[in-house]
């Protein structure tokens, strides 16, 4: 169960504290349930890599044409 917890008085709630402040003691020392986990997005191919790939395939194609034509 996700809960926001006040680290000063132990007050916890499933919804976020208003303005990040504990309603019981007025502390801003709040522990958020979403902290810590960070998922990296899938690695994308850069433009440079794609150009290089096309260039290599172009060279292979040119070599093929030169040999068999």
Binding site for Zn ion (CB under 5 A): 6, 8-9, 11, 22, 24-25, 27
Closest to Zn ion by CB, 18 vs 47, is: 18
Measured from the CB atom, the residue of 23 and 61 that comes closer to Zn ion is 23
Return the number of the residue (13 or 27) whose C-beta is nearest Zn ion. Answer: 27
Q: Angle CA(12)–CA(17)–CA(19) in degrees, nearest 5?
A: 155
| Residue 6 Cβ vs Zn ion, minimum distance, rounded to whole Å | 3
Distance CA 12, CA 29 (A): 12
**CB 19 within 8 Å of CB 11:** no
């Amino acid at each position: 169960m996700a809960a926001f917890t006040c680290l000063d008085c132990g007050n916890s709630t499933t919804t976020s504290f208003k303005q990040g402040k504990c309603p019981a003691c007025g502390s801003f020392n709040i522990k958020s349930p979403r902290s810590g986990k960070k998922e990296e997005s899938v690695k994308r191919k850069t433009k440079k890599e794609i150009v290089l790939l096309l260039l290599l395939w172009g060279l292979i194609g040119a070599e093929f044409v030169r040999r068999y034509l």
